[in-house]
Amino acid sequence: MNLPAAAPESPDIALSLALPAALDGRAGTNRARGGHLQIAADSDVEAVRLWLAEYAGSPHTLRSYRREAVRLLLWATRTLSKPLSSLTREDFLLYERFLAAPTGDWADPVRPRRGAARRLFDGPLSARSQHQALGIVSGLLSYLVSAGYLAGNPLALRRRTGAAARRAPRVERYLDHALWDHVLGSVEQWPRLTARDHQHYERSRWLIRLLYDTGLRVSEAANAKAADFYQRRGKWWLHVVGKGGTEGEVPVSTALMADLARYRVFHGLAPMPSGNETAAAVMSVAGDPCRHLTPAAVYLIVKEVFRRAADMLETGDVAGAETLRRASTHWLRHSAASHQADAGTDLRFIQKNMRHASIQTTGIYLHAEDDQRHTDTVREPEQN
């Protein structure tokens, strides 16, 4: 299998695939004809690139979505000699089997992880990873249908069976209460010997509290303004512009407002924001109140917080340290929802706080019932 040249995995929307003209999708059998096209793309790569651009503000999501798009495009053109826009439901049944057992050059460990000759798999995908991959691909196809580029989404016909149809999964990428408390405590041990150290400490301290207390996505935190915090009937709220420009509001605690005041005073600003100021909620690395952090900078700061916290756990809690090394910004959003559920917050309120379209999505954060079932079922011997 000679893979077409492809850009290395990186948090941008580059998608440089040299597909043969006959397989670029311009004549795809599933192309929508006669409708009103919402995008200017006229080839599969151009259309996928536009879909990826929608996630430019979320580096982690972008990398994951780009990987699945590249896998599908290459598999369709190299294995079936079909463009993505000609794939049928039968083709996707084959693709599901392929994800469960990629062979040959696709998963050759001798091949590098990057570059034109790279391997695209480390081995067979687990059932969970297969489900995630197909979900991402289905989202891509649905987007292209809505854009008037494709006539239909073959994966919309896919039937959920077995355990996947009966049981909603529980989210696992979150920090338990003890690990979160350790993260908060570890930041307080950061050195503050220089002005730059102190600035980095204050920014990191504020950022992780903002992400956790509000459940913001990384792009939402990066774009948040101080003026987005406002009072109504004596209570603080945060106005949020989320995915697709959807607006929402999140309750804000007095403790978080105190943390915001501390961060602002450190930078010479008034403790409480006014409704007409232009300062960023999280300022740039240089501390300029008129410049926001980029989503990539938010991601890197949070990763550093987790890495440092893991280093402090290395000898005492190896499993906890490993969890922190895997954690990223979105884990704080998952932790926020999980801890709200643990505290008994009404599921409808958590749904509004997280801005979930469906309450079924919110339900994956209900861990307390499982914990109680385990405690009542497994009677551990008492410690002497």
Q: Which domains does the chain have, with CATH numbers?
A: 21-166 (no CATH), 177-376 (1.10.443.10)
Cβ-count burial of 6 within 10 angstroms (0-12 exposed, 13-18 middle, 19+ buried)?
A: buried
pLDDT-based confidence at residue 364 (cuts at 50, 70, 90): low
Amino acid in position 26: R
| % pLDDT > 90, the chain | 38
Question: Residue 208: pLDDT above 60?
Answer: yes
What tokens appear for 122 in the block?
A: 């480390």
Predicted TM-score (pTM) of the model is 0.55
Question: Residue 90: pLDDT above 70?
Answer: yes
Q: Which of 62-66, 206-210, 313-317 has the highest mean pLDDT?
A: 206-210
Q: What are phi and psi of 87, to 5 degrees?
A: -70, 140
Among 293, 142, 153, 270, CA closest to 216: 293
pLDDT-based confidence at residue 379 (cuts at 50, 70, 90): low
Q: In terms of pLDDT, which residue wins out, 110 or 376?
A: 110
Question: Residue 362: pLDDT above 70?
Answer: no
Half-sphere exposure of 117 (CA within 13 A, CB side): 5
Which of the 8 DSSP states describes residue 228? Answer: G
Cα 145-147-153 angle, rounded to 5 deg: 10
Which pLDDT score is estimated for 257? Answer: 95
- Across 125-130, average pLDDT: 83
Q: In terms of pLDDT, which residue wins out, 295 or 359?
A: 295
Which pLDDT score is estimated for 351? Answer: 83
| % pLDDT > 70, the chain | 80
Rounded to the nearest integer, the mean pLDDT of the chain is 82
Q: In terms of pLDDT, which residue wins out, 63 or 26?
A: 26
Which of the 8 DSSP states describes residue 232? Answer: E
pLDDT-based confidence at residue 281 (cuts at 50, 70, 90): very high
Cβ atoms of residues 350 and 341 within 8 Å: yes
pLDDT-based confidence at residue 368 (cuts at 50, 70, 90): very low
- Across 287-296, average pLDDT: 83
Among 247, 31, 246, 15, CA closest to 147: 31
Question: Residue 361: pLDDT above 70?
Answer: no
Q: 249 by DSSP, 3-state: which?
A: strand
- Across 104-128, average pLDDT: 69
Q: What's the N-to-C CA distance of the chain in angstroms? A: 63
Which pLDDT score is estimated for 76? Answer: 92
What tokens appear for 281 in the block?
A: 């909620």
- Across 348-359, average pLDDT: 77
Question: Residue 6: pLDDT above 90?
Answer: no
Question: Residue 248: pLDDT above 80?
Answer: yes
Which pLDDT score is estimated for 353? Answer: 83
Question: Residue 200: pLDDT above 60?
Answer: yes
What tokens appear for 191 in the block?
A: 């050195």
**Is the CA virtual torsion 110, 112, 115, 120 positive or negative?**
positive
Element (H, E) at 45: helix 44-53
Question: Residue 196: pLDDT above 60?
Answer: yes
Please give the distance of CA 91 from its chain centroid, rounded to a whole number.
Answer: 28
CA separation for the pair 41, 84 (Å, rounded)? 14
pLDDT-based confidence at residue 17 (cuts at 50, 70, 90): low
Q: In terms of pLDDT, which residue wins out, 284 or 383?
A: 284
